[in-house]
Chain A
């Protein structure tokens, strides 16, 4: 069996118990929260009779003992059925499918922006080490990393939507405008600018700092000295030799961040009224919509596992010394 295939098979085999473990853990964890969906619905309704609440519990299957509920849940998951959201009166799979694209769009745009700008900033800082561009970039990166996301979002809204009126303050497209084709794409792009920027700022800081450190490390290696000794320009050394090698840890980071792809967007989706998965999950917590929340958590853990497998493979391909641990 070729080496890469062997790694893939082994990794996938390892993933199965991990995912089952995660499903069980999530299930038990969620049931530790006091109150259930029937409490929430009856509370929202401003009151109810005991019979009505009992009826709700029976309908949601909450009247069954916990092991029975867990068993049913695992059996469903095994057949790729994520269950039914009683609150939304839709299947969990359908709910996730309608909300996932918005989140992916936002996150991919943000990660792409952050990665590109992060690399540029990191390289610039490393090339002008301890001179003013380096200090400026480091200070800005620190600020961006430390500023709360929701605050940045609100300030951007105040500046670009309220004061300047250049961009919409929220939503994914203009409601009721019934746009089609190119107009619609432009409309969505306009709505994406602020949330993407807000989310990217945080990752941008991370990438910039990582890139700078990585560049500096590579600068210290012998082959860089050799390159310089050959008489190459500083520019060529930086972009041809150092940059390429320094990108490796960035790839790792990119892979790992697929995990925060879903989780990290909760705040941005809330501030910008973005109809994504993060908000759906966040609201599901307060609504005790366990089926829905479990579905989203399971999907996230799947994504993380897959991302890790992919990173392993990419690494094995890039560096033949890496073997299956």
Chain B
């Protein structure tokens, strides 16, 4: 007995020694080269949520909060916060002694200005996220109180530097915000100071010596390089010219090879805040797709495991419900499922009255895919094959992004699309737009394109918008997912898994759900 204990103690000690050996002290200094594509149009995320902007902008500018992997709020510019019992008031106590990069003091006036004039009026999602925000009171320079017309439970998960960025009031107030020259040379409170942007080439950021988190950032310099060709990006990683890239920076079929060199980390965490979902939308205005049985038949004909494994090299997870599994507080698996079953699919189509003609075909549909790369095209090609097995003749149409958006959202001239949405940390922010009948808006990208209109769904969505009670809200969200699976205006195919590729020398690059949208104050490079 004693012997065993002693042995255990020895093992424990050994384990402890191993832990201390691996947890190294961060090394100060050095340059990190990050690769990014496409080049961002501007460098401020406060009113433009384009993905590449976030990668650069979040190093210079900050938000009130940051989040851990489970999307629980952590302090950033706000040190503490309190939601009132009725949910209609949120008090933020701001960090003391924070300075803008031009030396001016950061105060609650900046928060008020950013929330009321920028996020609420100009941000594509902020307009609905902050729709209930009446005013931001500033009783002192270090206190900002959000006053809401109704509780907005999702608001507390929308306060990252990427989603709701604080801009310096003294540089933006009274100007044309969208055309402000500081959008191209941002002034923030963050760990890195903007230095130079050579269009088509790179952005350089330098260490902010006066950063509020004393001792950080560790890096002296951050270089963000724009390399448009995917294979060339892979080569740049191999030569060591770049050491980190987010959002799956190299072709999926290069990953294995790079991994085999033993020089790189392939990290799929850090995208929980975005929680991307790959899906197929049905145009319910189409005479065949109007029929729920046809949609169910298509769902039964698609092998989601095969899409993930073969087309996406395993970088995904077959979807169960419209709310991705990464949103653990809201996700449910208690929904109708459509396993691969060609017989059932055939039967459903026969039942719907669309029998096979002499050539074995029932009817024809067009499939337009979002043209974000060859993987997207191959998914469309797979779907064409899969649906041909149940007698649906699919013609895949290719076009560039602008033409795709116009066709789907302005002209509604499509039958099936494969598309890609961020579910974001709360269904009200990210998923609602696909299902809410009030979001059938012509000309608005990533709105409700299927034309789905359902009274119960609208009610559930509107309950989730204002329900302050966590349990009741979850109940509404669960029913929402069940109804979505029953009605099937959209077929969720798989949860996309982006990866961050980083040289093994780069430490601490993925520390929260924000991933490459984190401030990088914590990142350091081994000598």
Contacts and interface: CB of A to CB of B under 8 A. Distances in A.
Contact of A161 (B31, B124, B239): B239
Interface string B374-410: 0000000000000000000000000111111111011
Contacts of B201: 171-172, 175, 273, 275
A89 B235 contact: no
B403 A35 contact: yes
A104 interface: no
B402 A288 contact: yes
Contact of B446 (A46, A95, A98): A46
Interface stretch (A47-55, A231-239, A253-261, A299-307): A47-55
A314 B238 CA distance: 49
A176 B31 contact: yes
Nearest to A274: B200
B402 A36 contact: yes
A165 B226 CA distance: 21
Contacts, number: 173
A97 B471 CA distance: 60
B431 interface: no
Nearest to A84: B179
B51 to A, nearest CB: 8
Interface stretch (B42-50, B326-334, B348-356): B42-50
A43 B400 contact: no
Contacts of B402: 33-36, 39-40, 43, 286-288
A36 B403 CA distance: 8
A117 to B, nearest CB: 25
B178 interface: yes
Given A42-B444, A169-B236, A49 B204 contact: no
Interface stretch (A67-75, A136-144, A150-158, A179-187): A150-158
A93 to B, nearest CB: 14
Nearest to A35: B402
Given A49-B127, A52-B122, A169-B236, A42 B241 contact: no
Interface in A8-67: 33-36, 39-50, 52-53, 59
Interface string B233-277: 001101101000000000000000000000000000000000000
A175 B223 contact: yes
A86 to B, nearest CB: 9
A45 B406 contact: no
B338 interface: no
B198 interface: yes
A279 B201 CA distance: 11
A157 B235 contact: yes
A89 B179 contact: yes
B237 to A, nearest CB: 9
A35 B201 CA distance: 27
Interface centre among B200, B201, B221, B422 (most CB of A within 10 A): B200
A46 B443 contact: no
Interface string A203-230: 0000000000000000000000000000
A168 B241 contact: yes
Contacts of B454: none
A270 interface: yes
A50 B441 contact: yes
A275 B225 CA distance: 11
B228 A45 contact: no
A273 B35 CA distance: 11
A172 B318 CA distance: 42
A59 B122 CA distance: 14
Interface size class of A (residues with CB under 8 A): 35 or more
Interface string B32-43: 010000110110
A271 B235 CA distance: 10
B239 A162 contact: yes
A88 interface: yes
Interface in A284-309: 285-288
B446 A99 contact: no
Given A41-B41, A170-B241, A154 B405 contact: no
Contacts of A165: 239
B239 A45 contact: no
Contacts of A48: 124, 444-445
Contacts of A87: 41
A283 interface: yes
Contacts of A202: none
B371 to A, nearest CB: 9
Contacts of B422: 46
A50 B124 CA distance: 10
A46 B444 contact: no
A280 interface: yes
Nearest to A277: B200
Contacts of B125: 46-47
Nearest to B202: A175
Interface string B437-454: 000011111110000000
A45 B441 contact: no
A266 to B, nearest CB: 10
A107 to B, nearest CB: 16
B232 A271 contact: yes
A272 interface: yes
Contacts of A44: 41, 48, 50-51
Contacts of B50: 41, 44-46
> What 5 A-B pairs are tightest by C-beta distance, nearest first?
A35-B402, A275-B200, A35-B406, A275-B201, A44-B50
Given A35-B402, A286-B400, 4 more contacts: A35-B410, A45-B48, A89-B179, A273-B229
Interface of B: 31, 33, 38-39, 41-42, 48-51, 122, 124-125, 127-128, 178-179, 181, 183-184, 198-202, 204, 221, 223, 225-229, 231-232, 235-236, 238-239, 241, 399-407, 409-410, 422, 433, 441-447
Interface of A: 33-36, 39-50, 52-53, 59, 87-89, 95, 98-99, 150, 153-154, 157-158, 161-162, 165, 168-172, 175-176, 270-273, 275-276, 279-280, 283, 285-288
19 contacts: A35-B401, A39-B409, A43-B445, A46-B49, A46-B445, A47-B125, A47-B445, A48-B124, A59-B178, A89-B179, A162-B235, A162-B238, A175-B201, A175-B204, A176-B204, A176-B221, A176-B223, A270-B228, A273-B236
